Structure 1
Amino acid sequence: MITPYRRLAALALLAALPAAAQTYNGPESVEAHPRLKRLLVSNTGGGNVLARAEDGTLSVFTSDPSSPYGIELLAGTLFVLDSGRVKGYDIDSAAPVMNLPLTGAAFLNGITSNGLDTLYVSDFNGRRIYQVGVADLGAPTQVELTSTGTATPNGVVYDRDGNRLLIATWGSNAKVLSLDLGTPGATPQTLIQTTLGNIDGIVLDCRGTLFVAAWSGCGTAGGCLRRFDPPFAIDSPAVVVANGLANPADIDYDMRTAEITVPESGGARVSLHPSSCGRSLFIDDFER
């Protein structure tokens, strides 16, 4: 005879199995969600977005995207770049709330926001930056903001203090570009000339310190995480944060833990590294 207690225990075990069985498969982009003390990770090879709990266990946030790349959390919505579209999912229920095909897009890769009502998206193959208005999720808007010329854009981050975008570029001797958002028709300018190769992720921490994730040119085998301290100059030195990373992709700064979170797309893992900040005593609830 199966007692009610044993039946409940068996059901609890079965319910836990799917979450425990989740694994990384080409983790591409990570976004901190301080309120629930978790990280959201676009699992490109798995065709889903995973949620990583504080203890490292994984569960599925949504399996709706077919090939998710950059992700960005803004005002209660997780925005996901998926095969030429910008999709939005409610941060609590994961219900789809937006699905915008970007006209003319080739390969959407990096995404950031102004923290209010606007997304900025990089088109890797098209060498363009798009601006997407999301004040009304039912009627989002699209503008081709600028071309990056001969530079191939990857990760992007919004610099609030400078009202500008900082853009990571692909290729050898990769650059960090700066795009002035306060000047209509502005074109990206070189902010930092590096000796790194294939910069994928880029983020600012609470002090305005810049971190980049590069696949090569690190002076050692594998990829790396490097830091640039403000004020920035064309020849700002790169400070070593971590080496031996496996294809580090689209990184994020977790204000709660003061860590730089790095999805290693070639290593099927997410690694955590110190920033220049301290842990936050108060969790910003901006996303809801």
Structure 2
Amino acid sequence: MPATAEEVWSLDGFKAPESVLFDAKRNVFYVSNIVGEPAGKDGVGYLSKVSPDGKLQAAEWVTGFNAPKGLVMKGDTLFVTDIDRLMAVDVESGQITGTWPAEGAQFLNDPAIDEAGRVFASDMLANRIYVPDNDALSVWLESEDLLHPNGLRVEDGRLLVAGWGRDVQPDFSSKTPRHLIAIDLKTKAISDIGSGEPVGNLDGLESDGAGNWLVTDWVAGALFRIHPDGKSSS
């Protein structure tokens, strides 16, 4: 069952917002805006800043992206996936400070960081997970068992992955919705969270702070709470 969500506030002024990340140190939300096509290399994407009470602080805070999607932070650095590259932003200056291209990448989506500071980036269409390797991204893991990986999260020595589904269609739906999986960070072994029964076209992935995960389904426009046994509930 989808989890219920209560609207606290709403805000207009975005252009195809994809991800949002809260920076507790600076008490601000960062929002990625695709603006154009999700895979369009048009240079029109940007990041916005929003206050916790729903005020737009800076619509085009950082520009120079194509179609920015997932966001994750380490210290004062914000990492952003952008189709076929990972980019770094210094949040103090609002300047892009690093770019790691990913040869052969099709649709980089979500990043996550482990305790050692290693950044992982999912490629939803290519069934790959990338990591930075010197000045570029290299393939850390490639497998159909990644289920077209979307949202990522590192917990307890595992990389948790929100599987979008098998046989992704041109409209981004899939013939077979999927579930959460876990990858052992040492062995790269892939296992299901729970029984592996389909949950949905899983997208964003965050902890609910109580041992479960909140996961969005982009196609259904739904929010699920998924338990450690893989079952979803409200």
Q: TM-score, normalised by structure 2?
A: 0.79
TM superposition shift of 1:25: 1.6
Aligned residue-pair number: 202
Structure 1 Cα separation of the partners of residues 74 and 92 of structure 2: 13
Match of 1:35 in 2: 25
Q: How do 1:1-288 and structure 2 match up within 5 A?
A: 23-45=13-35, 47-58=45-56, 59=58, 60-132=60-132, 139-140=134-135, 142-149=137-144, 151-159=147-155, 161=156, 163-171=157-165, 172-183=176-187, 186-192=188-194, 193-216=196-219, 222-229=220-227, 232-233=228-229, 236-240=230-234
4+ residue runs of structure 1 moved beyond 4 angstroms?
Answer: none
Q: TM-score, normalised by structure 1?
A: 0.65
Instruction: Identify the structure with bigger relative contact order (alpha carbons < 8 Å, sequence gap 6+).
Output: 1
User: What secondary structure does 1:68 align onto?
Assistant: coil
Q: Structure 1, unaligned stretches of length 5 or more?
A: 1-20, 134-138, 217-221, 241-288
Match of 2:170 in 1: none
Q: CA RMSD in A?
A: 2.1
Query: Residues 173 and 194 of structure 1 are in contact (CA less than 8 Å); yes or no, is this contact kept in structure 2?
Result: no
TM superposition shift of 1:120: 0.7
User: What secondary structure does 2:70 align onto?
Assistant: strand
TM superposition shift of 1:124: 1.1
Q: Normalized per residue, which structure has more helix? A: 1
Give me the identity figure in percent: 28
Q: Structure 2, unaligned stretches of length 5 or more?
A: 1-10, 36-43, 166-175
TM superposition shift of 1:41: 0.8
Query: Residues 150 and 204 of structure 2 are in contact (CA less than 8 Å); yes or no, is this contact kept in structure 1?
Result: yes
Distance 1:99 1:53, change over 3 A: same
Distance 1:34 1:53, change over 3 A: same
User: What secondary structure does 2:144 align onto?
Assistant: coil
> Residue type matched to 1:96 in 2?
I
Report which of the two structures shows the higher radius of gyration computed on alpha carbons.
Answer: 1
